[in-house]
Structure 1
Amino acid sequence: MPYPDGFLKNRSVIEPNKYAVISPEGRVINVVPGIKNCAMTILASPKLGAGFVQMVGTVSNTGKTTIPYAKSENVEAVLFVMDGKGSLTVTVDGKQEKLEEGGYIYSPPGKGIEFNSNGDGEVRILLYKQKFIPHPDPAVKKPWIITGSIKSITERIYDGMDNVFVRDLLPVDEAFDMNFHTLAFLPGGCHPFVETHVQEHGAYIYEGQGLYLLDNTWIPVEAEDFIWFAPFCKQACYGTGLTRMEYIYSKDCHRDEPL
């Protein structure tokens, strides 16, 4: 890594147990056992205050898992191929899929995710895991493997606003205690109100720029920034660039809160 041009800079803003914006210039590569020939960075974990672990990284032409990722009892996981020219062969509980840019797979609790590069180019991925909360009704079926591509999901208008669009990656079904969505703002688009809710999010911006309200502070954000929102953190966004702003984010859902 060369010496910097000018003063050291980092746009990240970290407020543990409240929110965080982690910009790319301050990230380091983490060694993750069982993931080989991949440059992975852990973005969120319980050490920050998050109820999940999320990482981003590049899978080389020889990148692969040597043990299934997140194969622990009551742990569920998601892999999303953010971009790149290559492809991955991904296996969950014996089900094998080829994933390219925009592709994703959800691993039910206890199954874990295996992947290996097909040697046709690098790809960047998001990896996510959290503890699964079972549904209190034993008659509700267990979550199942979901795989697909955001390129084949039709966008819906978000909350009646014709310049904001959403896609659901997982079924809206009480079997699942989480979902992943993409949210996109055309220039000038915004949330219809300032949200304050029990759900937490981990959001990765992969296109455009915006202005995000986090707690009581408006923070400029842009492509390659990661945002973590704690429960009840005030939040809202304006798309402020010349092009569309879009990010992928996690959400816990479909469960009551314990006392």
Structure 2
Amino acid sequence: MTDFTYRAPDGGLPGQTELHTGRAVFTEAYAVIPRGVMRDIVTSRLPGWSATRLWVLARPLSGFAETFSQYIMEVAPGGGSEKPEPDPEAQAAIFVLSGSLRLTIGAERHTLAPGGFAYVPPGADWKVHNDGQEPVRFQWIRKRWQPAEGLGLPEPIVTSDAEQPLKPTSTPDDRWFATCFIDTDDLRYDMHVNIVTFEPGGVIPFEETHVMEHGLYVLEGKAVYRLNRDWVEVEAGDFMWLRAFCPQACYAGGPTRFRYLLYKDVNRHAPLGPVR
């Protein structure tokens, strides 16, 4: 199972003759940002970046999801940043959707193709550039790292979807898999970024209800996803944003596999007030 595809935004704007009705929704427990919303008019730009625009998918909101922000970056040929992250406490996870990204962490230089993943620890000296002839689009997840007594800084990680094994869950027919980019047993890391894969007919067979906040970007396929009280149809290019304790489940009805990039916060005590 290596013929993976990764949906990136189309940009542009709908025509004046298209129907207005869409699937975008923001509730007290979750938000769905469908791919049709990710148009030119809702992009932004960042200081310190050249030839770059982005779609902001998630940002900390009091009373909603508070631990992370998530962007889709689009860097034109020749663009990039010598200092992408202004917050010295922020860690980064990068996943390339299309194009080729040159990533430098310290003295190490890497080229990330579609499916390429990198974890950048807080305080690292890192840079990103597009040396290719086509735009590069990638997911960028940001979270402030929470130090813990006896645990040092996490190490950088550079790998890819194709390099990591698909790990089946405990379901008997193995229709539900996880691709883990970060070692789930290494407590230095206070977030996990995985790819979840369902073969047609695969399900999350119960309503997960737990403290982790989620960002889910659909890479491939379609499914019906349970979000709090609702069943919602989602497809490649959609983003789901879940606050803590939002019930969730999934039914991947096919006809192709369903895959999404998943962020969640893990491995730390629940803060009893503002994180310092």
Please report the TM-score for the alignment, with normalisation by the length of structure 2.
Answer: 0.86
Moved more, 108-117 or 239-248: 108-117
* Amino acid paired to 2:46: V
1:54 is aligned to 2:66:
no
Structure 1: runs of 5+ lacking an equivalent: none
Matches within 5 A, 1:79-118: 79-82=94-97, 84=98, 86-111=99-124, 113-118=126-131
Of residues 213, 228, 239 in structure 1, which corresponds to 2:252? 239
Are the equivalent residues in 1 in contact too, given 2:53–2:73 (CA < 8 A)? yes
Structure 1 residue 193, shift from structure 2 partner: 1.4
Q: In the alignment, what sits opposite 2:37? A: 26
Change beyond 3 A, Cα 1:114–1:239 = same
Of residues 148, 165, 175 in structure 1, which corresponds to 2:177? 165
Q: In the alignment, what sits opposite 1:217? A: 230
Identity, in percent, stands at: 33
1:12 is aligned to 2:12:
no
Structure 1 residue 33, shift from structure 2 partner: 1.6
Q: Secondary structure at the match of 2:21?
A: coil
Are the equivalent residues in 1 in contact too, given 2:220–2:260 (CA < 8 A)? yes
* Amino acid paired to 1:185: F
Question: Structure 2 CA distance, aligned partners of 1:198 and 1:6?
Answer: 40
Matches within 5 A, 1:143-182: 143-161=154-172, 162-172=174-184, 173-182=186-195
Of residues 21, 27, 38 in structure 1, which corresponds to 2:52? 38
* Amino acid paired to 1:70: E
* Amino acid paired to 1:149: S
Change beyond 3 A, Cα 1:2–1:170 = closer
Structure 1 residue 170, shift from structure 2 partner: 1.0
Question: Structure 2 CA distance, aligned partners of 1:178 and 1:227?
Answer: 17
Q: In the alignment, what sits opposite 1:63? A: 79
Question: Structure 1 CA distance, aligned partners of 2:26 and 2:145?
Answer: 27
Change beyond 3 A, Cα 1:71–1:112 = farther
Q: Secondary structure at the match of 1:243?
A: coil
Structure 2: runs of 5+ lacking an equivalent: 1-12
Structure 1 residue 3, shift from structure 2 partner: 3.5
Please report the TM-score for the alignment, with normalisation by the length of structure 1.
Answer: 0.92
Which has the larger strand fraction? Answer: 1
Structure 1 residue 2, shift from structure 2 partner: 6.1
Structure 1 residue 110, shift from structure 2 partner: 1.8
Moved more, 169-178 or 120-129: 120-129
Are the equivalent residues in 2 in contact too, given 1:76–1:112 (CA < 8 A)? no
Are the equivalent residues in 2 in contact too, given 1:71–1:110 (CA < 8 A)? no
Structure 1 residue 46, shift from structure 2 partner: 1.4
1:75 is aligned to 2:90:
yes
Are the equivalent residues in 1 in contact too, given 2:210–2:245 (CA < 8 A)? yes
Are the equivalent residues in 1 in contact too, given 2:46–2:53 (CA < 8 A)? no
Aligned length: 253
Structure 1 residue 130, shift from structure 2 partner: 0.8
Q: In the alignment, what sits opposite 2:240? A: 227
Q: Post-superposition, which runs of at least 4 consecutive aligned residues in structure 1 deviate over 4 A?
A: none
